[in-house]
Amino acid sequence: MRTAYHEQLDALASLLGEMCGLSGRAMERATQALLQADLVLAEQVITDHEQIRAMSARAEESAFVLLALQAPVAGDLRSIVGAIQIVADIDRMGALALHVAKIARRRHPQHALPEEVNGYFAEMGRLAVDLGNSAQDVLITRNPQRAAEIQEEDDAMDDLHRHLFSVLMDREWKHGVAAAVDITLLGRFYERFADHAVEVARRVIFQATGEYPTDDALVVNNNGAAN
């Protein structure tokens, strides 16, 4: 019975990792659609989002079945509760990629971005994909030390987001209000995608150690546990 139970936990963790990978690929395609004004890619992201939603529902159902039928305690309970929370984070990551794709589609055949900010969003897209991949790796390995390192990757996204606002506030801005609104929204979408990847990492640390790290406390001690 316990063997089957832990096999179900492993299957749930694998499903979460797969969902995270899909969300990362969705953001990668959404970024390409945004930078290239590619309607086909944008539509693909929008259509594929249903797969992430369906997997989210399946993961939640699996977690609640484990709670109801197995009455887990201690570490097993943390694993299942953490998994339910992780489902919500990954679902949101997919939704943020969807929002990027919808802006690209709405502005097609024009480009949504002025040329001078393309570099910012190319880099933010790269960082988002890297963070999604890192979160997927953490979900599969359940390594709290690797999870703690994701915060450093997120810092680069925060820096880019701040620099982007300096461009928007420049007196020489000449692209109008609509472009400024799009850029503000898009910047927020990428930043929040990264934030949710960090949340996934925090929840993995909680699953492994029973401690939930704060924003400034993703530090790993010599035993590999987060403080």
Question: Hey, which residues does 220 pair with through a beta bridge?
Answer: 226
Interval 191-198 mean pLDDT: 96
CA dist 147 and 136 (Å) reads: 10
For residue range 148-168, what is the model confidence (pLDDT) as tens digits? 888 778 899 999 999 998 888
Q: CATH: 3.90.120.10, 1.10.3720.10, 3.50.7.10, 1.20.58.220. Which one for 2-209?
A: 1.20.58.220
* Residue 214 pLDDT level (bands cut at 50, 70, 90): low
Q: Please say whether the beta carbons of 113 and 178 come within 8 A.
A: no
Q: Where are the domains of the chain?
A: 2-209
Averaged pLDDT score across all residues of the chain: 88
Number of other residues whose CB lies within 10 A of the CB of residue 81: 16
Number of other residues whose CB lies within 10 A of the CB of residue 163: 12
